[in-house]
Every structure is written in C-alpha cells, then in structure tokens.
A = this chain, B = another copy of it.
C-alpha cells in the first residue's frame, strides 16, 4: 500500500529510518513522530551524534575493534595476555565475550564472515592482517569464536588454511549443549557433536 505523506520532509525522514535493518515503514513513521515530540536541542544532538560517530570513530590498528584512539583499550592493557588472540566476526562478539569476564587475551575483529550469498569474500575481511599478526611470532594461540553456521565454518577453514606453516596453536570455542538446557530439547546435531567431543569429567566443571 502506498502511503501518501502530507509532507515531503516527513516522507524523507521515514525513508531514511526505513533504510535501517529491521525497521519497516510503519515503525519508521512511529520513530519519526516520536522525534517530532522531542525538543529541538534533543533532536539536534541525535543528528550530530550519528554524524560524529560515522566521521570520527576509529578502528584499532591492531585488532580492528572500534575505539576513539589509534589502538583500543583492550590492546593497550598491559595486564592482558598478548599471546592469545580470539578471532571474532564483529564488535558485538567482543562485547559479549568481555561480558563473560573469562577471556584475558586480545581480539581480532574480522568485520564479518565469508558469505558469497551476501557478496562478502575473504578480501573484504581483516584476514590478511590476522595472518600478519600470526607471523610476528608474538601470538602463540588463535581461538576461533565465529558463528556456528555454514558461513562461520567456511571462514574458520579458510583462515586455518592460510595459517598453515605458521607455528601456532589453533582452537575453536567449545560447541555443545548450552548450560541450563534440557537434553531432550537440544537439537540433534548439537547433541551428537557434544557426545563426540566429550570432555574429561573434571574439566567440565572448571570456572
């Protein structure tokens, strides 16, 4: 259904909001009407923050995490173990892993995963810079923490092959039944894998 907007400005704003992922035209209109009810300084702040973000945000030269300086606070932290690098898809995964408090190494943010369907190939990702980091000899272990999907596995294998010949330990985060899940509701593939990849009893309860 074609909505007839009574104002070109309103239509422009709805168009802009509906370009965002997961936001259709109805939601876009709701957000735009909400902004109209806010004060002018509030809306100006909103607009400025978005533009400043895009213009001024930097990416860490080492791990490609977002930051406000040349290197990120994680890479600059001397208490972290620079010999272990966790490879993730995006900064969302950095945040998720940081929230667990279980990882004290550094990260490497690929900026996506190999996905031919979306036109994303290895050259669109920070894979070369990861190989370069591995070649320096400072990194002893690389942990893959990518999505457990076809695309994630493709990326794992691609990078794994690129690392051939470099003396480095390569591991993948454990895949299995989620903690708190009931076995009867676990999917077959996960359950099957978690039996094949069973761990020694005492190791399973480490914190």
Contacts and interface: CB of A to CB of B under 8 A. Distances in A.
Given A4-B95, A68-B9, A95-B5, A43 B50 contact: yes
A155 interface: no
Nearest to A63: B6
Copies of this chain present in the complex amount to 2
Given A12-B49, A68-B8, A68-B9, A30 B21 contact: yes
Interface string A60-97: 10000111100011100000000000000011101100
B16 A50 contact: yes
B49 A16 contact: yes
A9 B68 CA distance: 7
A1 B96 CA distance: 10
A99 B1 CA distance: 8
Contacts of A5: 95
Interface residues on A, range: 35 or more
Interface stretch (A33-41, A125-133, A146-154, A190-198): A33-41
A7 interface: yes
A57 B90 CA distance: 38
A65 B10 CA distance: 11
A9 B47 contact: no
Interface of A: 1, 3-10, 12-13, 16, 19-23, 27, 29-36, 38, 40, 43-58, 60, 65-68, 72-74, 90-92, 94-95, 98-99
